[in-house]
Chains A and B, each alone.
Chain A
Amino acid sequence: GESVGLHLPTLSVQEGDNSIINCAYSNSASDYFIWYKQESGKGPQFIIDIRSNMDKRQGQRVTVLLNKTVKHLSLQIAATQPGDSAVYFCAENRAGGYNKLIFGAGTRLAVHP
């Protein structure tokens, strides 16, 4: 089995409910934020991104909210499905010569039927 997500905080939700995954980032100078989904045995997959000049961005069933005042990022998944079960990482991009992604600790989302 895969070791990704074994020791990460877990969010358990019922299928059909909405999920909210939170992330605190560290650098107030970061200007680009990305949410990735990592399924067992796979690399991180891009979900949605947001830049620091925005507070909210919506995609298909997903919404990202950015609160720069408290350096907080959240990912909302509407009508959560079993296929959404994975580990979710936020990442911040610290500008400064080249793009360097700093990843958050990750949250494991478990969707129950």
Chain B
Amino acid sequence: SAVISQKPSRDICQRGTSLTIQCQVDSQVTMMFWYRQQPGQSLTLIATANQGSEATYESGFVIDKFPISRPNLTFSTLTVSNMSPEDSSIYLCSVESVLLYREGLAGGPDTQYFGPGTRLTVL
């Protein structure tokens, strides 16, 4: 089964600073996504991380605030820039790949699997 890890697992940051979150998968995957989960709420898609090209952002999220990199098929980063207390959330990466499905992972070729999340508190 695929192992998805995120670094850091949690952080406390000062207003105005930036934090880069890493997502690492132990298998090559087709799709990688970044979600935000605000306190006590559900998950909202920030963007799709595209390998070799610019990320595709959802409405309400912009590249200047949440720059994303995806240099290869196993790794992606999300940066939360110029942070404010409103950015305090859990940030989650997810992956989707027909290769994981063929390896026997539960679900289907289009199932998304999530990392453990990064818990960010901005003071």
- A-side residues, CB < 8 A to B, are 3-8, 32, 34, 36, 41-46, 49, 51, 89, 91, 93, 98-106
Contact = CB atoms under 8 A, between A and B. Distances in A.
A41 to B, nearest CB: 8
B112 A105 contact: no
Contacts of B44: 103
Interface stretch (B60-68, B75-83, B114-122): B114-122
B40 A8 contact: yes
Contacts of A104: 42
Contact of A105 (B42, B94, B107, B111): B42
Nearest to B117: A43
Contacts of B31: 98-99
A49 B41 contact: no
Interface string B41-60: 11111001000000010100
Interface residues of B, number: 29
B116 A4 contact: no
A3 B41 CA distance: 9
Contacts of B111: 34, 46, 49
A98 B56 contact: yes
Nearest to A106: B42
A49 B108 contact: yes
Given A46-B106, A99-B96, A3 B39 contact: yes
Given A36-B114, A43-B114, 17 more contacts: A3-B39, A4-B37, A5-B40, A8-B40, A41-B116, A42-B116, A43-B115, A44-B92, A46-B106, A46-B107, A49-B107, A51-B108, A89-B42, A91-B43, A98-B31, A99-B31, A100-B45
A45 B41 contact: no
Contacts of A46: 106-107, 111, 113
23 contacts: A3-B40, A4-B37, A4-B39, A4-B40, A4-B90, A32-B108, A32-B110, A36-B114, A43-B4, A43-B114, A43-B115, A43-B117, A46-B107, A46-B111, A49-B107, A89-B42, A91-B112, A98-B48, A99-B96, A101-B43, A101-B45, A101-B112, A106-B42
Nearest to A95: B110
